[in-house]
Structure 1
Amino acid sequence: MNDGHGALSLLARGLAGVDVDVQPLARARAVLTGRRLLLPDNDEAVRLHRAMVAHAVAHLRYSTPARPARTLKPIGIAVVSALEDARVERLLCRDFPGLHGWFVAALPPAPDPLDLRFAALIARMDRVLLRAGAQDDNHWVNKARRLFDETVSRAGLEDYDAFRAVASILANDLGQMRVRFEPQDYAVPAPWRDDNSYLWDFGEAETPPDDAIALQQTGVRPPPPSDAPNEGNEAPPEGIADMELGRYTYPEWDRTQERLRPDWCTVIEKLPAWQGLGAAGTSAAAGHERIVPLALPRARHLDRTHRLRRQWEGDDIDLNAAIEVLVDRRLRLRPDARLFMRPGKGPRPSSVLVLLDLSESANDAGHGDGAVSLLDLEKQAALLLAASNARGIDRLAIHGFSSNTRAEVYYYRLLEFGQPLAAPSRAMIGAVRGRYSTRMGAALRHAASHLQAEPAGPRAILLVTDGAPSDIDVHDPKYLIEDARQAVAEARDAGVRSACIAVDGAADAYVRRIFGWRNYCIADDARSLPARLARMSTRLAAAH
C-alpha cells in the first residue's frame, strides 16, 4: 500500500472510529466489503478519493449491510440504494459538517435537462438532495426532494424503513413513467459513491463475497431471475420493427408564456408491423409486404365548376329548356320561363380522419368478466365505420397516435384516404396496441396537415380518446390541454373542423375547453362507441 492509501486509511479510521483497510483496485468504481475499501488506482484523484472514503464511512456508521434483495426488482434496488446513499451522507455531514464540501466538489456536471433516462434522473436527484439551493424542473426529481425532506422532518434521518417506503413510491412512479432500467448498463452516477454491493445480499452464497463484489464494477447487480415482470421495463414488441415513414416538427403552445414554441415536438410517422397481423388470416410478414404505402392515384376532384340549367337568369340559353318552351307553346301550355344557364359548383367531397388514442391507458379492460379493453372497442368501431361506407363520407382515413415525450410523438397511418378496407388493413388495425402517453396537440397538427392535401370540401378530424392529454415530460395538467386547444384553433383556421368522442365520464371540462361546446360527445358506456362514432362522423361530413 502506498503512502496515499495509508493516509486514506487513517482518514477512514478517524471518521469511522474503527480500522478500515484501504487498498487500490484497477477499476473505476469504489467497492466496500466489510471493513475493506477498494479504491480506483489513480493517484491524481486525491480529492475524489477523500469523498469516496467519507461515503464508505457513512455506510459503515449508519447502514445495515447485506439486506436481502430477492424481494426487490432491479429498478427498486437502484432507487433504494440512491436514497440510502443520500441518507447516510446527510447523517455524516450532520456529525462532521465540513465533509459536505467534499461531496459537493465531486459532483459531476448537471445532466442535460432533456435527458429523461434513469441514470440522468438519479443524478439530478442526487444533486438536489445534496445541494439545498439546487433547482430542477423535473416533476419526479422535485417529488423525490419533497418526500425526502418530509421524511426527515417526520421520522428523522435514522428511520431506514421510512426512506425505504419513499423509495418504493419513487420506483413505482418511474414504472408509470415507463423509464427504462437496464441493470447491466447502469452505473451509480455520483463518482465518489461505491457500487452499493455493501448494502445487498443477492443470495449467491456459493460465490466468494470479495470475488462477487469485484465483479460489480459497472453498477447494481440484478437479483436472480424472477417470474414477475420488471416494472419500468416494457418488453419490445416481437417480430418486425415499426417502419418509419418520416419525421416532422411542430410547434407547441406554452400557456405560461402565451406563445408558440417553434419546432418543439417531433412527430415520427410510422407504419405498425407488430406481431399479430395474422388476426385476419395474414401472417405478420406477409401483411407487412402488402401494406407498404404506395403512390396511389389521386381520387377524382369533384369540386369542379358545373353548368346549372333551367335558371331564371344567366349568361347562356339552355337549349333543352328552349325546346321545351316551343313544345309547350304548340300545345298551348304555359311555358317554364327558366331558359338560362349559369356556372355553379357541384357537390363537394367530404373527408373525415378518425384519430385513435393509442396510449397505454387504452389497454385497460372494462368491468365484468370477459370485458374487452377500450382499445379493442376503438378498433371495432373504426373497422365498422370503414366497412359500412358511412352515409355522407366520401373519403375516410383511420390514423392513431401515442407519445413518449415531445421528442417521440408516434403517428400511425392505419387506413389511408381512398384506400379500400382490405385484409392487410383490417389485420393492421386489429393488431395495433396501446403504448406510452397522449400528446394530443402534436397529433392533431399532423392529422390536420394530412387533411390539407384532401380535395376542397368538408374536412374533419374525429378524435377518440379515453382521457385528457398527458405526457411524462409535462406535469402541469393544463399545459397540454391548452396546447390541444390551440391546435384545434389552428386547424379551424385552415378549414379543418375538429371533434372528439371521449370515453371518460369526467371528460366534460377538458374536452369542452379543447373542442368547444358542440364539437364533442361523452360516451359513459364504452360499448356505445361504435354507434356514437358513426353518428358523429356523419354529422362532420355533412357540415359546410
Structure 2
Amino acid sequence: MSADSLVNKLTAFLADDLERTAAAKLAGRLAEGGHAAAAFELLTELREGSRKVASAAVEALPEVVALLPGEAVVTWIDLAVSLNEQSGAASIKFCKESAGLLQAMDSGVAGPALAMALELAEQDANVALEGFRQAAGVAAAAGVEALLLWGQIGADLAKLDYVLGIEYLRRGPEILKVLASEDLKAWASVSVKLVSPNSLGKPDYMAALAFFRTSPALLGDLATPAVRRRVLALSGVLADHSPEQAVGFLGEAPGWLRLIRDPQWQERVLQYGTLIAERDAAAALAYLRRAPEVIDLADPDAPAPPPATMDRFDKWYRGGMEVLAYNPDAARAYFAVETRKALEAIEEAASGVALRSVARVLKLFAEGLSGHPVTIRPLDGSKGDESTIALPARMRRYPSKEDNLRMYKVLTAHEAGHLEYGTYDLPLTRLADLAAQAGLRYGRASASPPTSLEEFFQLYPHPLLIRDLWMMAEDARIEACLKAEYPGLRRDMEAVAREEVARRSLTHGMSVRELIVELLLEMSATDPDEVRVPDALADVVERAWALLRVVSIPQATAEDVVRAVHRAYVLIEELTAKELPTPPAGASEGSNQPLQPRAGEEQGGAYRPVETFAHRGVMDATRVREPEGGVGSHGEPSLSGGSRSRQAPRVRRDAASVPTPVEGLPSASLADDARVIPEEETGAASLALPGVRTFLYDEWDGQIQDYRTRWCRVVEQTAPEGTEEFIGLVRSRYGGVVSLIRRYFEGIRPPGLRRMRRQADGEEVDIEAAVEALVERKAHVSASEFVYIRRDRRDRDVAAAFLVDLSGSTGQQIGPGGARIIDVEKEGLVLLCEALEAIGDQYAVYGYSGQSRHDVQILVLKDFDERYGPSVWRRIDAVRPLVQNRDGAAIRHALRRLSERAAKVKLLVMLSDGRPLDDAYQEEYALEDTKAALREAKALGVHPFCITVDREARGYLERMYGDVCYLIIDRVESLPERLPRIYKALTT
C-alpha cells in the first residue's frame, strides 16, 4: 500500500470520530514519523474489539500525539488495545485520563511508564491502569529506573490479592519518598500478613489498608533507611504471630525509637527485638517498650552508649532470651522493667523453683499416686529405668514460685500416671494383628515381631507421625484417668492445659500433616470446640479426632490407644495422600534426608515431630517392651496392657464409647470406618439459659455415602410447664383404662427372688433332686451333683427412651371433635407413663422439633432420674406443635442419653406423625439419614421401634426404617390405649 493511500485510509478512519481537517492533520503527523501503518493496524483491531473504545481512543489521540513522540503513540494505542481485551471500561478510562496523566510526566517518563503498563496489562487491566496513573509520582520519588520493579511487585501482589495490589500501587509515590525500591517487597509482604479473616470468615483488609496509608508517614519519621528496613523486618515477624500486635508496634515504634538517640543503637535494638519476636510477639513488645529506658539507665548523659553499656544491655537481653526458652510469660515480665531496680525486677521475673528443693515432696507425691517406688532426677537426656521420673532441673516457666510448683506437680502426676495406668506395661503380643496389618499394608513386614513399640512404629512409612499421635492420645488417656481418680488434680491440670494451648501459635512453616497433628494435640488438651480448625482441614481433623477422642476416657487402656492411633494414622494418610507423597519402603523419616518443601509450596515432604505440651513431657516408645512371662514390670498380671499398684475395678465400657462400623455400609478402608461414629461431641459452651446444653452430631448424606461431620446442632432443654389440668382430664376420660393398665403392668413386674432348683450350690437342699441322686448311687449309676436350691434375684433391667415428634404437622385435626394429633400423643404419653411407673422400668420422654440443622430442639418432658409427678404433668400439658422435625439428629441424641444408662435392655421408641422434614432435609436425604441413625442404634445394642400415625406412610416407611420394627396406627384416636400394650410386647 502506497504512503498516500495509507494516509487516506487512516484519515477516513479518524474522520468517523474527528472533523475531517483534524483527522487529516493527525494522519499526516503519524505518517511523518513512519508510524501510520502501525497506528492504523492497531486502531482497526481496537474498533473490531469495541467501537465505543475505539472512538474514545481516537478522540484522545490529538492530545496524545501532541505530548508523545511517534513510537510512544503506537505504544499508547497498543496499551489501549491490551486493556480492551480484558476490560472495555478500563480502556475507556485510560483514553480519557491519558492527556492529563501525560502532561504530569517528564519527557523521559512517558515511554517507560507506557512500557510498564503494557506489561502489567497482560495480567490485569485495572492493575495496569492504576500503575500508569501513579507512574509520574513514582518516577518523581525514586526515578524512572524504579518503575519496572515497583510495577512488577504490584502485579505479583495483585495476583495474590487484588485489593492489596491496587492499594500498593496507589501508595507508591508516597512510600518511595521514604523507602528504597529494594525494600518495596518487604513493605508489601507486611501488608499481606496483616490480612486476617473476620467473624464471617472473609478477609479483613482494615489493618493492611491502614498500614499502606499510614506507613509512609511512620517510616518517614525514622532516622535512616537501615532503621526502616529493620522496622519492616520486625513488623513482618510480629504479623506472623499476631497482626494486631504488629499494628500496635507500628503505631508505637517512632515514639520508642526517638528515645534512642543513636541510629546504630536503634538498629541493634530492633535486631534483638526481631529475634525475640520469632519466639514470642508479646515478649518482643515488652522488650521494645523498655529497651530505651535500660539504655538510658546505663549512662543517661552519653550521646552514644560506651562499650560497657553495650555489654550490660546485651547481658540484660541474653538473660531475657534464657527466660524465654522456659516461659514466654516470665520473659514478658522480665522485659517489662519500669524502675531503676532493673536487676531486681529481672531476678523476680526470672524466679523459679529448683528441682533439688522440691524433689522429696515430688517423690512422695509420685509414689502416692503410682504405688511404686520412684526416683526423681533432673532431665538431662539420658534414659532411666522404669521407675525413674525425669523433670527439668529448674522450673522457671512462671514468674511466681507457686505457679512453678504447680507445673512440677502436674508434670509429676503425668509421669506417675504412666506408671500407674500401664503406659509402659503393654504386652506387644496384643498388637500382633496390627503389626501384621501394617506390614502388609506398607510392605515393611519384618522377619521377627517388633520387640518394642518404637520398632512397631517403624512398620509405618511415617513413624514420627504415628509416634506423635500415640504420645498425644496416651497422654490424653492418662489425664482422663488422673482426673477421674484424683479430682483434686483436675483444676491444676486443666488450668495448665489451658495456658499451654493458649501459648501455641501455628506457623506457616508447618506441613499439612504437622498442622493436623498440632490441631489434634490442642483438641486433646482442652475443649475441642475452642480449637480453631482451618476450613481446608476441618474434615480430616474432625474425623481423626472422632477416632482418638474415644480413648480419652478412664476406661480406655494402653492397647486401646495404640489401636485408635493406628486407625487415625491410616485415616490421615489416606485423606492427605493426594498432596503428600509416601516415602519409599527403604526410607525413614528418622534418616538424614533433606526436608521437602513446606506447606504452601508443595504440601509435602518429611514429617517433623510436633512439640508436645510442656506439662505432658516427652514419652519414650522404646520403654514399651514385651514383659517377660507376660507379667507387668511390677510383678502384677496386666489385664489391659497396663498394670496398677492398686487395681481398681475397671468399668466395662459401654458400646457407645468406641466407634463401630454400621452394618450394611461399605468399608473399603479404615478411613471409611472412621465415618461411623455413634458417640457425638458436646458443644463447648452452654447457652445463657439455665439447664440448656448444646451438642454436635454427624449426619448421613446418602448422596455422597458419607457422614457430614459435626453437622447438626442439638439444643437440649427442659420443656416449659403448663398446668395440671390436662392430667386430670386424661385420668377422668380414661379412668377405667388407667386402673386396668396399672394392674396389668404390676402383674408382669418380676418378683424379687426366684427359686432355682437342681443347682450345683445354694442356700438349701433340693429334697427331690437329693433323693434321686441317692437312688442313682445305690443303683451304681453316675449321680447328679445338682442337688441344691438357689434364690436368684430376678430384676427387669430395662432403659427406654421415647422420642415424640412435635413438628407443626401434629397440629392437624383428626376428627369432628376437633382433637389434634398432638393431643392424642399427649394422652398416650400419660397412659404410657402410668404403665411404666407400675412396672418400674427406667425411662425418659423427649419431644423434638426445630428449624434447620443449626437448631434441633430436644425438650425434656421427663428424664431418666426424674420422678413422674407434677412437674412432668405440667410439661406434658404445655406441649404444643412447633416447627419441623430432623429425625436423625433426635435419634442420635436419644442414643447418647441411653448410652449413659446401665441396663441390660435398651429400647428406643419413636412416635411420629409422618416423614422427616426440615430445611435441606427432605425426601431421600432425610429418609437415608433416619435409616442410618436407626442402624447406629442397632449397632450399639439399642432396640429401636417406630410408631407412626401417617396412614400414607407405607410408601416410604420400608425405605426409611429398613429392618427396624415399626407399626402404622390407622386410627390415631386408638393410640393412647395401644401405646402401653405395644411397650409391654416389646419388653416381655
* TM-score normalized with structure 1 length: 0.45
More strand by share: 1
Higher-Rg member (1/2): 2
Q: Point out which structure has higher relative CO (alpha carbons under 8 A, 6+ apart).
A: 1
| Higher relative helix content | 2
